């Protein structure tokens, strides 16, 4: 699904030198590499504050902690996504409220979102799934109307941008009150282990999140609030400093691969290729097809026999996950998400796909899906 080894080979000299620098400096936590990466990332995103943290899940948790919510407060998030969002909401004693998604975009449905807002709702966590931004114009308007915080889960969308109808253009994660991303190795900007970051233009929230990520300390050993221990390692910052310079090129490579796939599958009426929305760029963290009347398990086996990996992101929506059984939800409540879980398939997508591989993959898919 990914080829991190070939990607590394192209930047090995620079990355190795950066890692060696950290080792020589023995400054493994905080230190100059963190400062450099933080500033580079702020400049890239055109955002006031980037707070590097331990991983994307922690980024979401720290963001929610900074809002000062109380047990019982409701946080709305889509049911078709990775588990992290609902997980941190539940861990903090807040109430996750799940909503359905749009069939075309895989992203949170504005209609479903509208219906889910109550007097207890405090925040919305849209997920920019598979690398395309959710309908931020609609979401931010609803949030403003109802006085809600918006925390963007940009773990899959780093490198993408969104344009509002008045022409203003923003990087993903920089439109709501807070944005969160992950540097998990297979993400679009991945490091060599776990890593993550939080973005905000709000000074007060930034100060609070810096403190929370470091035990609630502003002055050392003065703990002003309950925090966590979640920092990005300097070695990871050294890797990211190099890879950030290549991020736009990495996105372009993914887009080129997606274009190849789209063209190859265009004539097949059993394959629905990803819809590209006009307001957002798509950086294809995943290239996800919807199959119409196709034996998906059979296709996955057929491809596996030919040495081609394919994955189902995601097979089970959050409201049907065992750990999240909840009297409020049952099968059938979110028909779009449930339908997607049954028909989606993701093909290999990374920065190193060449035309020979793409031809082999598409040819193989089309042999099975006639």
- Those residues with Cβ within 8 angstroms of residue 220's Cβ, 6 or more apart along the chain or in another chain: none
Which position among 34, 38, 53, 56 is part of the footprint of ligand PLP (CB under 6 A)? 56
Quick check: 121 binds ligand PLP (CB under 6 A)? no
The site for ligand PLP, by CB under 6 A, has a size of: 14
Helices (H) and strands (E) in the chain, counts: 12, 12
Binding flag, residue 84, ligand PLP (CB under 6 A): yes
Binding flag, residue 240, ligand PLP (CB under 6 A): no
Q: Is 62 within 8 Å of 228 (Cβ atoms)? A: yes
Q: Which residue is nearest to ligand PLP (CB)?
A: 56
CA dist., res. 260 & res. 356, Å (int)? 11
Q: Are 138 and 112 in contact (CB under 8 A)?
A: no
Supply the DSSP string of 24-87, one letter for each residue: HHT--BSSHHHHHHHHHHHHHHT-SEEEEES-HHHHHHHHHHHTT--TT-EEEEESSS-THHHH
Q: Is 182 in the site for ligand PLP (CB under 6 A)?
A: yes
**In this chain, which stretch among 5-13, 50-58, 233-241, 254-262 interacts with ligand PLP, using CB under 6 A?**
50-58
Question: Which of 96, 173, 196, 227: binder of ligand PLP (CB under 6 A)?
Answer: 196
Minimum CB distance to ligand PLP smaller for 82 or for 192: 82
Q: Does residue 185 belong to the site contacting ligand PLP (CB under 6 A)?
A: no
Q: Residue 155 or residue 235: which is nearer to ligand PLP going by CB?
A: 155
- Bridge partners of residue 53, in order along the sequence: 196
H or E segment and range at residue 23: helix 4-25
The CB-of-204 to ligand PLP minimum distance in angstroms stands at 25
Q: Binder to ligand PLP among 67, 69, 101, 155 (CB under 6 A)?
A: 155
Residues lying near ligand PLP in the complex (CB under 6 A) are found at 55-57, 81-82, 84, 127, 153, 155-156, 182, 184, 194, 196
């Amino acid at each position: 699904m990914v080829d991190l080894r070939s990607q590394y080979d192209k930047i090995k000299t620079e990355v190795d030198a950066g890692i060696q620098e950290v080792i020589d400096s023995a400054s493994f936590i905080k230190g100059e590499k963190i400062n450099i990466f933080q500033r580079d990332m702020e400049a890239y995103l055109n955002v006031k504050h980037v707070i590097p943290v331990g991983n994307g899940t922690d980024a979401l948790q720290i963001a929610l902690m900074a809002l000062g919510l109380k047990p019982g407060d409701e946080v709305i998030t889509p049911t078709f996504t990775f588990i992290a969002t609902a997980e941190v909401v539940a861990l903090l004693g807040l109430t996750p409220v799940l909503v359905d998604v749009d069939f075309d975009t895989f992203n949170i449905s504005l209609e479903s979102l509208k219906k889910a807002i109550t007097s207890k709702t405090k925040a919305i966590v849209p997920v920019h799934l598979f690398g395309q931004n959710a309908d931020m114009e609609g979401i931010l308007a609803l949030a403003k109307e109802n006085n809600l915080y918006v925390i963007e889960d940009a773990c899959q969308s780093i490198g993408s941008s969104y344009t509002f109808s008045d022409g203003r253009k923003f990087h993903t994660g920089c439109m709501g009150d807070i944005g969160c991303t992950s540097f998990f190795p297979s993400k679009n900007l991945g490091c060599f282990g776990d890593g993550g970051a939080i973005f905000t233009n709000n000074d007060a929230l930034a100060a609070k999140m810096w403190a929370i990520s470091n035990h609630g300390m502003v002055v050392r050993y003065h703990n002003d609030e309950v925090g966590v221990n979640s920092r990005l390692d300097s070695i990871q910052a050294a890797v990211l400093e190099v890879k950030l310079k290549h991020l736009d090129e990495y996105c372009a490579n993914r887009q080129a691969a997606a274009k190849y796939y789209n063209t190859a599958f265009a004539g097949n009426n059993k394959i629905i290729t990803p819809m590209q929305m006009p307001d957002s760029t798509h950086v294809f963290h995943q290239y996800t097809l919807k199959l119409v009347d196709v034996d998906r398990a059979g296709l996955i086996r057929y491809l596996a026999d030919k040495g081609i990996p394919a994955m189902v992101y995601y097979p089970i929506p959050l409201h049907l996950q065992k750990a999240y059984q909840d009297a409020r939800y049952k099968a059938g409540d979110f028909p779009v998400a449930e339908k997607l879980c049954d028909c989606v398939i993701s093909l290999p997508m990374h920065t190193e796909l060449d035309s020979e591989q793409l031809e082999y993959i598409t040819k193989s898919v089309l042999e099975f899906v006639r």
